[in-house]
Amino acid sequence: MQKIHSFGRTKPIVMAMTMAVAAIALTACGGSSSSKSSSEEKPNFTDVAKAFDCEPSSTQGKRVICIGSADDLSDANVQNSLTEALAMAETGDTFVLPQGRYNFKNTIEFNGAVDGVEVSNLTFRGAGMKKTIIDTNGASADGFLINDTNNLVFEDFGIYESNNNALKVKGSDGVIIRRLATVWETDFKSTNGAYGVYPVECKNILIEDSFVQGSADAGIYVGQSEDIVVRNNIAIKNVAGIEIENSKRADVYGNTAKGNTGGILIFDLPIGNGIYGAGVRVFDNEVIANNAPNFANKSAFAGGVHIVPPGTGVIVLSTSDVEIYNNIIKDHQTTSIAVSSYILADENVVATPKEDVGDGVNSYGDIHPLATTFMDGWSPLVRNINIHDNTISVADGIDNPEGELISEIIAGYKTLHSLYPDIANGKVTVPHILYDGVGELLANTPHPDPVFGGASIMQALVLGINQIATSVATLPDTEMFTPIDVSLFGAYPPEGGVCQSKNGIDNRTLFAASVFETQPTQNNFKDGEPLSKLEQLQSDFSFAWSIMDDPSGVMSCASGYTGSPATVTFGDNKYGCLEDDLENDSCAL
Amino acid sequence: MKHINALVLPLTVLLLSACGGSSDKEKTDTAFTSKTYITEQEELTCTDSSQPVNWEKVLEAKATKLSEYNLFSNTCDPSQTDSAQALPYDLSVMLFTDYASKYRFVFIPEGETATFVATEALEFPTGTVITKTFAMPADTAKRGLQEEKLIETRLLIKRDTGWIARNYVWNQSGTEAFRSLSGGPVTVKNLKHGVDKLSFTYSVPSEQQCLTCHQFKEKGADKPEFRPLGPKARFLNSDYDYGHGPKNQLTKWFEEGMLTGLPEISTVQKATPFNDDMLPSAYNGTQELLTATAKSWLDINCGHCHRHEGQASNTAFRADFNIPWDGNEAWHGACQVPISGAAAGSSKIIVPGNADTSLLYNRMHSTDSGLSMPSLGRAIIHVEGSALIKTWINSLSRPTCE
């Protein structure tokens, strides 16, 4: 095997990140301390009388299929009736679900074709979100699972108590979910299914006027999709209220996220399937008291929802091109808005590439745990985040930060406050707007080893991976070597990181701060490792005044990123701020 | 035989109500009872059928009753056929389906043949019908239709436009099978398996669910293609006794004029056989044999979904037979973190040397809703398969997960 060009034997960059950024214990997470239970009244959905009220129609292309019948509304008959209707479905069918609560024992599944003939444009409609309830607890997996079917509408019914996802739609272009409820009626149980509303690998998704409660993952989750509008929904008591993940061109507006563990999540995760996202606007939402305990299933996936610290309003993880504006973000016990590179979730991002892999390479992951996702086009960094015009408040007595993910950050801030009680006289422990900053720092700091010609520390990392990867044989039928795009890891242009402006806090001081500075200084590296502001405090108390603040203007910009409105196209109709909501005040913001 | 107009057929025949809905007789001579959910309006008897296969009806695929196709020599016995166009077949390693027996036939129209494919399902001509009948024994040590209760007969029918699926569920008396769109539950009580008595609810799938497993979606393709899963060269490359001693199935198909393009048999892929009667010593003699057996089991039980072209293409567990274990451990899921379906105690998909912390083992060894795998097709645990996979994972010494 040819000799690999030496990296000059400088000390490998091992991110110990002791004080400020937690080494992630991937199994333990979430606080067990008391949650603020939301004062939301618990809607009573259990007593709904069964009733049949449907006129069938056999007009071709627009059939109306009545599910169940006037003289047989037994659970089994309704389930079978729907399953059979799907088995004989034709393009344009509407399936009308009767009023009542029905226990289904099998997933309702449809795969886009009947006898090989493509079927699209299907509508599933109940008598109302509180009137037609499909209880899918008897089905061993998802409640509804629809794949590869274009132009779907789900409206006016509820899906309850699913063992996995309530409504999963995969691979479909054109999905409208409106006035749909997905509910788990017991609060905070980790066996409460997975996602409530779950379109994945879809395009043109509209989710509106819906209600999601109790999911042990995300209530509304849109993943690996494009052209998305999520508006006017209510998400309560889920781990994540609303989550946009690895998706492009999404508008999230007019929603209420209340009493979840985390309110609204914008994540871009290293899933490894080449689908990554950017371009999300979050505006005019009410994000209130999301202080529920984290009851998600603990998984070893570093970006899983179990990492969400309870008491977080909006979280941006690793996603770029995000505009968060004109939201009311209120009463969060940990932090109101958190923005972080993926380094916070998984320190493997900055693991040293293994040089001496020899012939034992089984995948490029042997060189570096995230090599294949870097090659896939994923970046762990956040760029172009603009946070403005939000109304943030934390009532007295709420502040009580927790969360395994940021436990060391929290500990650092608590120490700071005990040493300098006057600093945060706004009475929050952790800044209202918290930015990790370390990703930007490593992208802005030239690697000290001249062999890299001034490339940043992050660039040096991926250059190293590229170099090792070129020297090993291409792996059989698994991954082709695609060189990592080094330009994704370069220095941030001015205002290319996080911007925050005009975020009001009602007669108090708004604290917006980064954990790490974003430009290298004489003092913020030691032995090749970056030091957070909190760590530097230990040797320089004069630092203290700046820790809850942003003295070097990390988050000051003359103008920040402005996103473009998202549009959903569904047949002849279009939805979104440029279309049916053109006159909507939210869209004028 | 009466032909019943589908439109007139009472809804109760097609609709499958939840278990317990219809009257049924319990077999008092054994401890085994199963309830199907079909009630019918007429007494049906077992009829010998000397008529040829109704190929036209098969292609139309509209029959309410299985007997309308004339596939089997007796309407009560889907394990026998007189048709010269048919051959029974077995797979050298089989998908686990709650210990049900499976009787498989391939029917190919006269003058047509299947075409050999090296690593994927064989190609079949238009008009082909593949039948697979599931029957539940009372004691897994005593098989054969006489000892078993018929549950369902699944058909795959090849049209010009591709494969379609039809499912026919048997009535209580085992005299006829009726088309079922929605499938449904079948209660099985006290199935004797060794010293155990198993009671569970077997699930007949709905017709839409067929495509969940039977799909092949080339990367970049718009939609998946419906494909048979069993009749692949590697599973047919084994012996079957057609009445004159064991004979290689592929060779037999060729000799019967039902298969063309078959290369020299020694060059054909061969799955490593596995069945429930094997003692561990039959497969754990060498590391190579153990891995080969595990790979074969994983392929037929998981590989149709857990591959690039299957339903679970975006997960980190892959079971494609054609990718060898050695050198591709991480690709299979060794030391890989699962994205979903995690359970306490299993941090990685395959932890070499430690099956108990391997998510692969835990999900196949579970009956918990939302966790158990495969997600379609089994209600109980495959004890022998789990033992195989456990032995295999524990035998692995590399890679070492950090």
pLDDT tens column, A256-272: 999 999 999 999 988 76
Tell me if A236 sits within 8 A of A210, measured CB to CB: no
Q: Which segment of A23-32, A47-56, A135-144, B381-390 scores lowest on mean pLDDT?
A: A23-32
d(CA A378, CA B122): 39
CA quadruple B266, B268, B272, B273: dihedral, nearest 10: -90
pLDDT at B392 over 50: yes
What pLDDT shows up at residue A360? Answer: 52
Cis preceding linkage at B399, omega within 30: yes
Contact B208 A83 (CB under 8 A): yes
Strands (E), B127-268: 129-137, 148-159, 162-170, 177-179, 184-193, 196-204, 215-216, 225-226, 239-241, 246-248, 259-260
The whole-number pLDDT of residue A369 equals 82
Q: What is the pLDDT of residue A188?
A: 86
Handedness of CA A24, A29, A31, A35 (dihedral sign): positive
| pLDDT reported for residue A251 | 98
Which of A36-40, A118-122, A292-296, B8-12 ranks highest by mean pLDDT?
A: A118-122
Tell whether the model's pLDDT for residue B9 goes beyond 90: no
How distant, in Å, are the alpha carbons of A161, A480, B32, B84, B154 from that of B77?
Answer: 42, 52, 20, 17, 14
Residue B324 tokens, joined: 């060898």
User: Which pTM does this prediction carry?
Assistant: 0.86
Predicted confidence (pLDDT) at residue A350 exceeds the cutoff of 50: yes
Rounded average pLDDT over A200-223: 96
Residue type, A360: G
Reported in sequence order, the residue ranges of A522-582 that DSSP labels E, i.e. its strands, are: 525-526, 529-530, 567-570, 573-576
- On whether any CB of chain A is under 8 Å from the CB of B16, the answer is yes
User: What are A148-198's pLDDT values in tens digits?
Assistant: 999 999 999 999 999 989 999 999 999 999 999 999 999 888 888 889 999
- pLDDT score recorded for residue B25: 35
Q: What per-residue confidence (pLDDT) applies to A239?
A: 94
Task: Answer yes or no: are the C-beta atoms of A136 and A160 closer than 8 Å.
Answer: yes
Q: Say yes or no for a CB contact (<8 Å) between B370 and A79.
A: no
| Rounded Cα distance, A195 and B206, in Å | 24
Q: With 50 as the cut, is the pLDDT of residue A16 above it?
A: no
The lowest-confidence range among A200-214, A422-436, B35-49 is: B35-49
Give contacts of A139 with chain B, Cβ < 8 Å.
369
Tell me the residue type at B368.
D
A148 contacts B224? CB cut-off 8 A? yes
A83–B181: do the CB atoms touch at under 8 Å?
Answer: yes
In the predicted model, is pLDDT for residue B112 greater than 70? yes
Most confident of A412-426, B317-331, B376-390: B376-390
Backbone Cα Rg of chain A = 25
Per-residue pLDDT, averaged over A464-477, amounts to 74
* Tokens at A276, concatenated: 């990554």
> Confidence class of residue A7 from pLDDT cuts 50, 70 and 90?
very low
CA B327 to chain centre: 30
Give ipTM to 2 decimals.
0.80
Residue B219's identity, in one-letter code, is K
Q: Is the pLDDT of residue A27 over 90?
A: no
CA distance A376 to B70: 54
DSSP 3-state of A213: strand
Q: Which pLDDT tens digit goes with each residue over B26-75?
A: 332 222 333 334 555 566 889 898 889 999 999 999 999 999 999 999 99
Q: Which residues contact A206 (CB under 8 A, 6 or more apart)?
A: A175, A176, A177, A178, A228, A229, A231, A568, A570, A575
B220 inside 8 A of chain A by CB: no
Which pLDDT score, from 0 to 100, does residue A530 have?
Answer: 93
B40 vs chain A: nearest CA distance in angstroms? 17
In this complex, do B343 and A111 lie within 8 Å of one another by their Cβ atoms? no
Q: Report the pLDDT value the prediction gives residue B146, as an integer from 0 to 100.
A: 93
Condensed to tens digits (0 to 9), the pLDDT of residues A91-132 reads 999 999 999 999 999 999 999 999 989 999 999 999 999 999
Give the model's pLDDT for residue B86. Answer: 97
**Residue A72 β-bridge partners:** A69
A574 touches chain B (CB under 8 A): no
Determine the distance from the C-alpha atom of residue A84 to the mean position of all C-alpha atoms in its chain, rounded to a whole number.
Answer: 36
**Which residues from A are below 8 Å from B182, CB to CB?**
79-80, 83-84, 87, 106
Name the residue among B21, B209, B336 with its Cβ closest to that of A109: B209
Residue of B208, B335, B358 to mutate when probing chain A, most A C-beta within 10 A: B208
A328-330 vs A240-245, strand pairing mode: unpaired
B334 interaction partners in chain A (CB closer than 8 Å) = 362
Task: With CA atoms as reference, report the closest residue to A363 among B105, B91, B336, B224.
Answer: B336
- Which tops the pLDDT comparison, A65 or A421? A65
Q: Which residues in chain A are closer than 8 Å to B349, comparing Cβ atoms?
A: none
- Given a cut of 90, is residue A348 above it in pLDDT? no
- Decide if pLDDT at A35 tops 80: no
Q: Is the pLDDT of residue B295 over 90?
A: yes
pLDDT-based confidence at residue A278 (cuts at 50, 70, 90): confident
